[in-house]
Chains A and B, each alone.
Chain A
């Protein structure tokens, strides 16, 4: 079903082109033959006319020669005339044979007539040659005027008829050529009409089909754009939800669970103050130890989930804490530099923090680096984050971990870009750009006040207790 329009298009266009080509070639051939026909017709007419003319002049001349021979004073003079006459006769015979070779049907009767007349004419002439001197003197005038001239006139009349017939044939041929030409014209007109009609149909079909296809493509494109957008939205919401969850969990652990441990510590201290028996003291010491350890672990867990400095003091203190922690754990030398004025919006702050956290963890785990430089800058309406290590590097085309995908996702949610520049043996430069116009910078006083005036500790997020 998918291929049908294609087949129809190819067949339609191919057929149309073939039709046009055939029509042109046919017309050319037809014109050529028409021209040839016409030329042949003319040539044939002229040739026949010439032959007829020859016959006619021969008949005239023969009459003249016969008269001269009859009027010649002596026999010997007549003989010479007779020889010439014989030549004329042979020539006439030849001309008659030539003319007879292509006779029109309606010419047959007059031609036969002419032929027999001519034959009879020669025979009559033959008779005069046998005449003696006396006979010639006696009959010659009568013969000439009563026999020869009427015969000659009748022959010439026949020849005229034939000539008229020949002309008639030429005219008929012309009419035939005209007919043929008319038919060619008609054929060509029909062909043009058919071609135009076919072309128009084909064009209409093609246009409709293309419009349908375009419509479909547009619909598909919109669908895919739409689904891409909702996927993005979903992923952004997931990231936000996860971050929110971490923040809540971190704060809960820090403010409630750890505080409970600290209360246990305090109570143990109070009991110790009562100067208990040595056995009880030992138990209290043990409680203190366990509670202290628990408190530390909860605190570390809370920091790992989401460092409180990020919400309390902002990005740089959180990044510095992160750098110190990883440095302490792995021995990696991490420098953090920041050229920021004012505090970033929540989402940007979290994005930068998480990206740097992931990058530093990668440096510590995979890169075999000894030093890392983290830099956060604000310039030209964007935040530029770079993490450069001196580690082993890798081929970003081939290695694409989940962590890196996560960083890229986070950057993209905020309309930013994520780039990795690394080659095996050359270290790695990670670069994230986030578009951000610093609205806070215009009102610096407000910014510094609000950051640290109980905002993270709102009554809602902090149940009294």
Chain B
């Protein structure tokens, strides 16, 4: 199995050192570079062509979210794992919108980091259990606040199945293959799901799925 090439982006040396140590001890992981700010990260992505970027948000010379947006724009296949101190949903949703597929808190266990890297390489999403928990709590509170019915009940069984696949990062084609449906049908279902849930993008859909506990 080919090695997973990993780029570390964090402005704290000591943290990068620790992380490098941790990751390189894993079979199949190779840390190909370390960047201390956003612009350096973009440069190293260009030079080293990593599979995964483990990215901090708070960095000098362009923050992690902007760097993520630029990386994913140019290289949609690079999986970005955000490793941040921030646990508020405003950071999570912006990271997802920028194209990150995993979001970890900095008190994450080693196992979480490894799972997240594997997940993004496979095109799936991954969130720290703490993040999922916080988002879900906020969502439940928001439901109580608005006194509204849960729009999830509006979805059909098939739509719920497709929602989970999409949230996990599967492409329309993969979903069509898995469920033995035509590409057109999957696309129609996707449109209906977004309409019924009043969502406008895949990142929003992923956040929704995390909040609902459909994925974690």
Interface residues of A (CB under 8 A from B): 254-255, 258-260, 262-263, 265-267, 269-270, 272-273, 291-292, 295-296, 299, 303, 307-309, 312-313, 317, 320-321, 324, 327-328, 333-335, 452-454, 456-459, 462, 464-465
Q: With A273-B110, A321-B90, A328-B137 in contact, do A454 and B65 touch (Cβ < 8 Å)?
A: no
Task: List which B103-130 residues lie within 8 A (CB) of chain A.
Answer: 106-107, 109-110
Across the interface, name the chain A residue whose C-beta is closest to B145.
Answer: A333
Across the interface, name the chain B residue whose C-beta is closest to A265.
Answer: B107
A270 CA to B145 CA, complexed, in Å: 43
Residues of A within 8 A of B11 (CB): 462, 464-465
A272 CA to B111 CA, complexed, in Å: 12
- Residue pair B63, A454 in contact (C-beta under 8 Å): yes
Residues of B within 8 A of A457 (CB): 58-63
Residues of B within 8 A of A255 (CB): 58
Across the interface, name the chain A residue whose C-beta is closest to B15.
Answer: A263
- Separation in Å of the B78 CB from the closest CB of chain A? 21
Question: Which of these, B66, B91, B94, B145, contacts A335 with CB under 8 Å?
Answer: B145
A317 CA to B89 CA, complexed, in Å: 9
- Separation in Å of the B142 CB from the closest CB of chain A? 8
Across the interface, name the chain A residue whose C-beta is closest to B83.
Answer: A262
Question: Which of these, B14, B62, B88, B94, contacts A263 with CB under 8 Å?
Answer: B14
A385 CA to B66 CA, complexed, in Å: 31
Question: Does B27 lie at the interface of the complex (its beta carbon under 8 Å from any beta carbon of A)?
Answer: no
Interface hit among B16-24, B178-186, B190-198, B206-214: B16-24
- Separation in Å of the A269 CB from the closest CB of chain B? 5
Question: Does B138 lie at the interface of the complex (its beta carbon under 8 Å from any beta carbon of A)?
Answer: yes
- Residue pair B58, A269 in contact (C-beta under 8 Å): no
Residues of A within 8 A of B171 (CB): none
Residues of A within 8 A of B137 (CB): 328
Q: With A309-B88, A465-B12 in contact, do A327 and B141 touch (Cβ < 8 Å)?
A: yes
- Separation in Å of the B170 CB from the closest CB of chain A? 30
- What number of A-B contacts does a CB cutoff of 8 Å give? 100
Question: Does B36 lie at the interface of the complex (its beta carbon under 8 Å from any beta carbon of A)?
Answer: yes
- Residue pair A273, B141 in contact (C-beta under 8 Å): no
- The contact sample of 25 A-B pairs, CB cut-off 8 A, is A254-B85, A255-B58, A258-B106, A259-B15, A260-B14, A262-B85, A263-B12, A266-B18, A266-B22, A269-B109, A307-B88, A309-B91, A317-B90, A321-B88, A324-B141, A328-B137, A452-B63, A452-B65, A453-B62, A453-B66, A454-B60, A454-B62, A456-B63, A457-B61, A465-B11
- Residue pair A327, B145 in contact (C-beta under 8 Å): yes
Residues of B within 8 A of A459 (CB): 60-61
- Residue pair B144, A333 in contact (C-beta under 8 Å): yes
- Separation in Å of the B10 CB from the closest CB of chain A? 8
Main secondary structure of the interface of B (DSSP, over half): helix
- Residue pair A270, B107 in contact (C-beta under 8 Å): no
Question: Does B86 lie at the interface of the complex (its beta carbon under 8 Å from any beta carbon of A)?
Answer: yes
Task: List which B149-207 residues lie within 8 A (CB) of chain A.
Answer: none
Residues of B within 8 A of A320 (CB): 90
- Residue pair B18, A267 in contact (C-beta under 8 Å): yes
Residues of A within 8 A of B144 (CB): 333
Residues of A within 8 A of B110 (CB): 269, 272-273
1/0 per position for B71-90, CB-CB distance to A under 8 A? Answer: 00000000000000111101
Residues of A within 8 A of B65 (CB): 452
- Residue pair B106, A295 in contact (C-beta under 8 Å): yes
- Residue pair B145, A334 in contact (C-beta under 8 Å): yes
- Separation in Å of the B206 CB from the closest CB of chain A? 18
Residues of B within 8 A of A313 (CB): 90, 94
Residues of A within 8 A of B99 (CB): none
Residues of A within 8 A of B86 (CB): 308
A315 CA to B86 CA, complexed, in Å: 17
- Residue pair A265, B106 in contact (C-beta under 8 Å): yes
- Residue pair B107, A269 in contact (C-beta under 8 Å): no
Extra contacts, 10 of them, besides A313-B90, A459-B61 (Cβ < 8 A), are A263-B15, A265-B107, A266-B19, A292-B107, A295-B106, A299-B87, A309-B88, A321-B90, A333-B144, A454-B63
